[in-house]
Chain A
Amino acid sequence: MAVNPSIDVRGLAYAYPDGHQALYGIDLVVGRGERVALLGPNGAGKTTLVLHLNGVLTPGAGDVRIGGLDVRRHDRDSLREVRRRVGIVFQDPDDQLFMPTVRDDVAFGPANLGLRGPELDARVDAALRAVGMTDVADRPPHHLSFGQRRRVAVATVLAMEPEVLVLDEPTSNLDPASRRELAEVLESLDVTLLVVTHDLPYALELCDRSIVLSGGTIVADGGTADVLADAAMLREHRLELPYGFDPRSVAGRRTGYGGARSPSSTAGRCR
């Protein structure tokens, strides 16, 4: 296809300054519009991998390209563009909502991109509308519930109009209602989605493809239902399905987006 894949990682290896190597040659291609879950035990390197996607970490070896743009380029414009294209929603919303009001936080990103005035306001309003948080716009973040803060954190990233939305453990500490509301928001967005999660049913609900990362390498890559049905593989990498949950008996995610896809099993995907 002529369109560049959203995420194109080849041979990515990385070691921390203290010498501990976290990633041992990762190959990953995610096409435009795909919805991928990144699964794996703690310490597997998931967050490390994610931090390479927006240039916060620089690969020790290998290539990372976002929509064709090489993230190793450290000039200010390239870095700004990469960070516009990849929006990361981190685990703790309090780390991401650091401005006095919700509106200020959502405006922070696009303001850094150079937007001002009515254009900035429009962008902020659109992002808040997309997550359903318009009526709390002028409140300080600590007056919101945890679920609300999660959604506002998504808005702060959406306001930059990213191509790729990465979420790190989006359902941790969410009550069931907030979890469902977040799923509805994510379903409605037109982005490439990468969800790092331990919440396997959520992965099945949102993503038709799953990748399992363990010990710094990719050990599985396929349709979510297939990956979750491989009990032996799950056990080997400290993953477990919730009690009584049978992935095969659950209808897979409805797909609705076209775009380039890397070769993956299509079983388990229902329309």
Chain B
Amino acid sequence: MGNGHSHLLFRHGDSLVHRLPAHAKVLALLGFVLIVVATPRERVGAFAGYAVLLAAVAAVARIPAGFIVRRMVVEIPFVAFAVLMPVVSGGVRVDVLGVSLSQDGLLSGWNLLAKGTLGVVASILLAATTDARALLMGLQRLRLPARLVEIAAFMVRYVEVVAAEMHRMRVARESRAFHARHLGHLRAVAQSAGALFVRTYERGERVHLAMLSRGYAGAMPVIDARPTRLAPPVLAAALPVAALAVAWAGAVWL
């Protein structure tokens, strides 16, 4: 579960990757990960190739490895799953360091680990090089329903406001130094959650009021995107195309 991070991953920069339009990056990411997921788990060399490609993208975007590794901590839940697979899977068993493990399970675990990790790194690279506004514009470009993008826009805008309110409530709760058992703790947390919902919903009503007061009549006005030195979108295709090449090479030489 990766929750608990309400701080966006975006890092300012002026690299080629930063300047690619968001819709192209999303499509490229999608293509790349689809290729990775479709690759048979036995082609270990191909996965190494994919990792090299991602490292290249990170280098071009000037995203430090430490940043990526720190953010990969969201992977922890499924790493546990991957590690358990060799233990609980069926089929032929092999001896590894004195422990009897399922051969198929080892491959499944590797499959999950490799594909999941590559997916996370690719997602991190996208998030780190694309700011929220650009992404929303990109989603609009990709023909996502306008209403959905609007809702996402409001959500992104107010996520930190709501999270900050929740934090303030937690501080207030803990300042009252109550020594509650688990159930009592949950009750206080839930009371805060209830109060937070009421406050948040009422804020939504006030936002609507402010929109009305500035002439909102049901449809969001189209505000032109400001293209600031955008790189040609076709360059984003380099990633999935390279991945295809790696996949093909893996098929030929393995």
Contacts and interface: CB of A to CB of B under 8 A. Distances in A.
Interface of A: 51, 54, 56, 76, 79-80, 83-84, 87-88, 90, 92, 94-96, 98-101, 104, 107-109, 111-113, 116-117, 140-142, 156-157, 160
Contact of B217 (A94, A101, A112): A112
Contacts, number: 81
Interface string B196-225: 000000010011011111111100011110
28 contacts: A56-B213, A80-B215, A83-B213, A84-B215, A90-B209, A90-B210, A90-B213, A92-B206, A94-B158, A94-B161, A95-B203, A95-B209, A100-B132, A100-B133, A100-B156, A101-B133, A104-B133, A104-B223, A111-B222, A112-B214, A112-B217, A112-B221, A113-B215, A140-B132, A140-B133, A140-B157, A157-B214, A160-B214
Contacts of A141: 157
A100 B211 CA distance: 14
B81 interface: no
A80 B158 CA distance: 27
A244 to B, nearest CB: 33
B136 interface: yes
Interface of B: 132-133, 136, 153-154, 156-158, 160-161, 203, 206-207, 209-217, 221-224
A56 B153 contact: no
Main secondary structure of the interface of A (DSSP, over half): helix
Contacts of A54: 213
Main secondary structure of the interface of B (DSSP, over half): helix
Contacts of B132: 100, 140
A98 B215 contact: no
B223 A108 contact: yes
Nearest to A157: B214
Contacts of B215: 80, 83-84, 109, 112-113, 160
Contacts of A96: 207, 210
B160 A142 contact: yes
A101 B134 CA distance: 11
A116 B224 CA distance: 8
Among B154, B156, B211, the most chain A Cβ lie within 10 Å of the Cβ of B211
Among B210, B212, B222, the most chain A Cβ lie within 10 Å of the Cβ of B210
A83 B215 CA distance: 6
B216 A100 contact: no
Contacts of B207: 95-96, 98
A81 to B, nearest CB: 10
Nearest to A97: B157
A90 B133 contact: no
A142 B132 CA distance: 13
A46 to B, nearest CB: 16
B128 to A, nearest CB: 17
Contacts of A95: 203, 206-207, 209-210
Contacts of B217: 76, 79-80, 112
Nearest to B205: A95
A156 B214 contact: yes
A157 B160 CA distance: 24
A56 B212 contact: yes
Nearest to A95: B206
B161 A83 contact: no
B136 A83 contact: no
A112 B216 contact: yes
